[in-house]
Amino acid sequence: MKNKLIVLIAVLFQFSQTFAQQNQKGLLWEISGNGLSQPSYIFGTIHLICPDKFFVPEGTEEKLKTAQQIFLEIDMDDPQMIMKTQKLLMSSDGKKLKDIMKESDYKVFSEYFKKISGMDVAMFGPAKPMVYMSFTLMKSAGCPMPKSYEEYFVKEAKNAKKEVLGLETIEDQMALMDKATPEQQISWLMDAVKETENGNALYAQMIDLYTKQDIEALTKIISEQMVGMKGIQDEMLDKRNQNWIPVIEQNIKQKPTFFAVGAGHLGGEKGVLKLLQQKGYTLNSLER
């Protein structure tokens, strides 16, 4: 149950990712300089990938071993996470999906959801629209149960008896989702229905570029063909990146740390890599 929930949480934030352009390829980056006695590392994940496409770039396991702690976007080995998440995924006003959708849209989406998941929408009671969006995104991956890099890093940390920490809390993440109006969230669901074939093909292209560690080409596709989360992109990416920098700085000054975050947070003028460079750190791609 916990492993499935880790994947579900990761999916909730998959479609908020946009990959910003880098001059170099690579998913794994070294953070050094600016007075650090030992380097730390940051890895760009993709939250959904089929098992046959899952890979760990050469050198990643070695850097994991040198790190004394591991940070994900949230602390996914928190024993209270399941309980917290289940509560946060439910509408506070008790409204069900049929209560906030037009009758015609609800009929279309219910049939679509049944087809892709084998489950009735009504089974989820007062679940927020984001829960249903998670299932549609998992279907886009092209396999019954996609893998999660977050799950992989949690397992590696546990095997090495290393602590997993979070750059933010699950409450922080869910609060961002709640900034989108019900109308916005419903529009995302209906877009997913209308663009199923195109979305699946585009996601396959994204996976191909990810496995090639070609962040630049991946950026181009997303910027031209994908919108992301309409209306709250700044909240989901730029502001979170800014909030993470003090946490990253505090920890890399204390001990070598390994960070794993959605690759969309790494690049661009407002991305984590650039923000760390502006603070005086040296960022080197370890792509091989």
Residue 160 tokens, joined: 């090495």
Alpha-carbon separation of residue 185 from 41, 98, 128 (angstroms) = 35, 13, 9
CA distance 63 to 81: 27
CA distance 279 to 245: 9
CA distance 110 to 113: 5
Bridge partners (DSSP) of residue 41 are 30, 258
Bridge partners (DSSP) of residue 283 are 31
What is the radius of gyration, based on Cα positions, of the chain? Answer: 19
CB 45 within 8 A of CB 272: no
Task: Please tell me the pTM assigned to this model.
Answer: 0.85
Q: Domain-by-domain residue ranges, the chain?
A: 2-89+128-176+198-285
CA distance 136 to 11: 10
Each residue's pLDDT expressed in tens, for the chain with a length of 288 residues: 444 444 444 444 444 443 333 446 889 999 999 999 999 999 998 888 999 999 999 999 999 999 999 999 998 888 888 888 888 899 989 999 999 999 999 999 999 999 988 999 999 999 999 889 888 878 777 888 888 899 999 999 999 999 899 999 989 888 888 888 888 889 888 988 887 767 778 788 888 888 888 766 665 565 555 444 555 667 777 889 999 999 999 999 999 999 999 887 887 778 899 999 999 999 999 987
88: CB partners within 8 A, 6+ apart: 170, 171, 174
Burial class (CB within 10 angstroms; exposed 0-12, middle 13-18, buried 19+) of 134: buried
